[in-house]
Amino acid sequence: MPTLRLFAVYLLAAPFGAAGGPLVLVALAIVLLASAAGATDWLLAADGRRVRATRILASNKLSLGGRDLPPLAFGLDPPPAVFETTLQAGTTTTLHYHVKPPRRGDAAFGDVYLRVDGPLGLMRRAFRQRGTAQPVRVYPNLRELRRYDLLVRRGLEARPVGRPVRIAGASTEFERVREYLPDDEFRHINWKATARRGQPMVNQYEAERSQNLVVLLDAGRAMAALAEPPTREDDARDAGLTKLDHALNAALLLAYVASQRGDRVALLAYTDQVRVFVPPQRGRRALLDTVQALYNLSSEPVEPDHGGALDFLAQRNLRRSLVVLFTDLADRESSAALAAHLVRAARQHVVVCVTLGDPNVRRPAMRRPVDAVSLYEKMAAQQLLDDRASVLAELAAHGVLTVDTDADKLNPRLIGTYLELKQRGRV
């Protein structure tokens, strides 16, 4: 194909042609010479088929259980549409660019296209490097894992209000003697050590290990709603995440912490049918299998079958487990049905129902009405919030634990709940 340089040469002939007379011959000569030069340039241009292009995907994975630092979050300008380089015969050049996927799941790079300019820059040949298309998996964001891993290794975790709580559990296997903390039970005070040290000392016991943690993920229509946008500038990268995205990230973090504590982790994701099931496993394999199972999970515009999912779980004959369900309380009727299923499951398991607040409902309820329309919106929103609170209260009254919070507070609330259950010996 001709380049802009060749068109510029052709334009030089225009004034001579417009002048008429003998100058037309000058214009014709310019056109003929430019055409001949262009043809020669096209023939002399390197054959792109002799150039081998290879796309190399740089490793940008978090090493689970290793000492690597997590990949840093960054914001970059989009890469240029065309990369330009000079490639001498028999040499190799490398072009680098970064890609920030907008969503997790299966993606693909297309073929590489080469445009080779002739030595005069008048003509350009285009070649398609077939076979360079490459599928790629975009995994959920795991940047939180390293921060929580450091806390777990120190034996500390933050409660929702920021107070530290020890991770040690309530089993009878002695671990060590340490200083008394305000939330320690008096029955664990070691009076002999207290007398020797002159300050309160307590016995610390290891948390019971090898318990089952079962994560249930509702991927129905309500989980496709956007969660509350972040208010902090450094969290802007999370804008636009759905409730399912936040639930999935929190589920992976919970699975990681549980596997670090020696518990077995199972996963069940469902809509109107079971979509994914990962049987109970412990250690690093549990987390890796969970990530592989969830990276391309998406919500579907269907009503979730909570009863079917819990029946599927019951058929696995799991012993008493900690069951954590990520879902949404869409309306009173469906929420009441969900509550009935969870109450039934709570007879055998310790059940935690995790829900994310809906800013589109909360804002109208808090807004001062200025006309009839805004008054109606406020009343409707308040009714939805009252129904939600009623369902949560009913769940709590029947022994189902609840974590109802905003997206930016989900991780500390969830991990704090898990660790407190371990501390009290509930699981």
Rounded alpha-carbon distances, angstroms, from residue 426 to 164, 215, 292: 19, 17, 30
- Helix (H), strand (E) at residue 311: helix 306-315
On the question of pLDDT at 79 being above 70, the answer is: no
DSSP string, 188-210: GB-HHHHHHHTS-EEEEEPPP-S
On the question of pLDDT at 161 being above 50, the answer is: no
398 in Cβ contact with 392 (< 8 Å): no
Two structure tokens written together for 384: 């939805």
With tokens 């019971």, the residue in question is: 208
Span 12-17, average pLDDT:
78
Higher-pLDDT residue of 310, 19: 310
Lowest mean per-residue pLDDT among 11-25, 44-58, 91-105, 141-155: 141-155
Q: What pLDDT is stored for residue 351 in this prediction? A: 93
pLDDT digits (tens, 9 = 90+) for 399-409: 889 999 888 88
Which residues, 6 or more positions from 349, have their beta carbon under 8 angstroms from its beta carbon? 214, 318, 320, 321, 322, 323
Amino acid at 109: F
Lowest mean per-residue pLDDT among 29-38, 173-182, 329-338: 173-182
Each as own residue / partner, the long-range contacts of residues 56-65 (CB below 8 Å, 24 or more positions apart, any chain) are 57/134, 57/136, 61/139, 62/142, 62/143, 62/145, 62/146, 64/142, 64/145, 64/256, 64/284, 64/287, 64/288, 65/284
pLDDT digits (tens, 9 = 90+) for 108-156: 777 887 778 777 878 877 777 776 777 877 777 776 676 666 555 555 4
The C-alpha atoms of residue 420 and residue 316 are separated, in whole angstroms, by 27
Two structure tokens written together for 362: 């909360």
The C-alpha atoms of residue 256 and residue 147 are separated, in whole angstroms, by 12
The C-alpha atoms of residue 381 and residue 140 are separated, in whole angstroms, by 32
Rounded alpha-carbon distances, angstroms, from residue 424 to 155, 263, 396, 410, 419: 16, 16, 18, 21, 9
Q: What pLDDT is stored for residue 317 in this prediction? A: 76
Does residue 113 sit in helix, strand or coil? Answer: strand
The pLDDT confidence band at residue 308, using thresholds 50, 70 and 90, is: very high
Higher-pLDDT residue of 191, 113: 191
Domains and CATH numbers, the chain: 1-49+106-136 (no CATH), 143-205 (no CATH), 212-424 (3.40.50.410)
pLDDT digits (tens, 9 = 90+) for 259-304: 888 889 999 999 999 999 999 988 888 788 888 888 888 889 999 9
Q: What pLDDT is stored for residue 322 in this prediction? A: 92
Q: What pLDDT is stored for residue 157 in this prediction? A: 46
End-to-end CA distance of the chain: 71
User: How many angstroms from the chain centroid is the CA of residue 111?
Assistant: 27
Higher-pLDDT residue of 225, 169: 225
- Helix (H), strand (E) at residue 277: strand 274-282
Two structure tokens written together for 296: 């391309």
Lowest mean per-residue pLDDT among 105-119, 167-181, 235-249, 264-278: 167-181
The C-alpha atoms of residue 293 and residue 54 are separated, in whole angstroms, by 29
Q: What pLDDT is stored for residue 173 in this prediction? A: 58
Q: What pLDDT is stored for residue 324 in this prediction? A: 96
Lowest mean per-residue pLDDT among 57-71, 176-190, 301-315, 348-362: 57-71
- Helix (H), strand (E) at residue 134: strand 134-138
Q: What pLDDT is stored for residue 174 in this prediction? A: 63
Predicted TM-score (pTM) of this structure: 0.66
Span 229-236, average pLDDT:
48
Q: What pLDDT is stored for residue 310 in this prediction? A: 92
Burial track 148-174 (b if 16+ CB lie within 10 A, e otherwise): bbebbeeeebbbeeeeebbbbbbeeee
Lowest mean per-residue pLDDT among 6-10, 136-140, 205-209, 272-276: 205-209
